Amino acid sequence: MLKVENLSKDFPVEFDVFGRPVKFLRAVQDVSFTVEENTVFSIVGESGSGKSTIARILCGIHKPTTGSIQFMGTALKGSGHREIQMVFQDPDSSLDPRKTVLFSIEEGLRIQKMGSKEERRKLVLEILKAVRLTEDVLSKYPHQLSGGQKQRVAIARCLVLRPKLLILDEPTSALDVSVQAQILNLLMELKREFALTYILITHDLKVVYHLSDHTMVMYLGQVMEMGETERIIQDPLHPYTKALVAAIPTAGTDNLNDFSLKGEIPSPLNPPKGCPFKTRCDFAFSKCDEKPPLIDFRGRKVRCHLYAEV
């Protein structure tokens, strides 16, 4: 359904007196992946690893510096695609505080000039029911809703456009813990009901494990490991993935594991030469001063000198 090839994004961060960029931050570096229809593809990695940048490129918010994106067989260019929609971390950022719920949900339909007024109203009611909200919220403003209700409205805003691919960028991290599971359950029900495909961005590897089919682990803009979620979580290969998995809190323990994430992430403006993870890796050796290629290893991809292609 989605094929991303050699995607990179450089953000200009310093300019000369004429306003010309003189320094760039490489937020995403040569990232390729494929998402199959009706599956959940997770992107994980610490803050600043480039996850949201990829999401924004797929939605047409950012232009890639290099690379290509194929969506349902055609090249994606520029300003996004109706069938790719994104749910943001903070519902407040996607809802206008001065507009009613009805206005917000219907807005995309009006912009896309979809249907008559009656048809739009019918569609809004249908989607409202699907996200388990009742008609009385339609006349309300965002500040009159709970966090969970606001996220349901934000999801409805996307769904009304009948997307095929939904990008969920930390869809529950701004919500109370008690509401997080409800929204995740709803998203999984909606996936079945509307035959959706998800790209899920989250810091929560437990959620990744339970909900996703494939996972891509990123660090400083690069793919470190990629493959079937179950195998990645149960048998992580890359030292970075091992550390992330070891940091998953387990019930009843203090989470004392052999692997844990030590030290700070280096500045993306001045990333380490060679392997980007070498400043924090327990296994680093002389070869790690050279950049490791992303190789195929036992049915998955891994970028680490500890492994040789098989």
Ligand X SMILES: Nc1ncnc2c1ncn2[C@@H]1O[C@H](COP(=O)(O)OP(=O)(O)OP(=O)(O)O)[C@@H](O)[C@H]1O
Q: Among residues 101, 145, 154, 304, which is the contact residue for ligand SF4, using CB under 6 A?
A: 304
Residue 49 site contact among ligand X, ligand SF4, Mg ion, none (CB < 5 to 8 Å, cut-off depends on kind): ligand X
Cβ(80)–Cβ(59) under 8 Å?
yes
| Residue list 85-144, contact with ligand SF4 (CB under 6 A) | none
Residue with tokens 């206008």: 96
CA distance 135 to 121: 11
How many CA atoms are closer than 13 Å to the CA of 77, on its beta-carbon side?
2
What are 284's two structure tokens?
């680093």
101 to 111, 117, 156, 184, 188: CA distances (angstroms): 16, 16, 10, 21, 23
State which of positions 268-297 bind ligand X (CB under 6 A): 268
Cβ-based nearer residue to ligand X, 27 or 281: 27
- Binding to ligand SF4 by residue 288, rule CB under 6 A? yes
194 binds, among ligand SF4, Mg ion, ligand X, none (CB under 5 to 8 A by kind): none
Considering only residues 56, 120, 242, 278, which one is a binding residue for ligand SF4 as defined by CB under 6 A? 278
Helix/strand number for the chain, H first, E second: 9, 12
Determine which residue in the list 2, 4, 7, 27 makes contact with ligand X, applying CB under 6 A.
Answer: 27
Task: Select from 51, 238, 278, 301 the one that contacts ligand X (CB under 6 A).
Answer: 51
Cβ neighbours for 6, distance < 8 A, ≥ 6 positions apart? 30, 31, 32, 66, 67, 68
Options 52, 151, 172, 212; binder of Mg ion; rule CB under 5 A: 52
Shortest Cβ 284–ligand SF4 spacing (Å): 4
**DSSP for 17-51, written as a single string:** TTS-EEEEEEEEEEEEEEE-TT-EEEEE-STTSSH
Q: Provide the binding-site residues for Mg ion, judged by CB under 5 A.
A: 52
Q: Provide the binding-site residues for ligand SF4, judged by CB under 6 A.
A: 239, 275, 277-278, 281, 283-284, 288, 292, 304-306
Q: Provide the binding-site residues for ligand X, judged by CB under 6 A.
A: 11, 13, 25, 27, 45, 47-53, 268
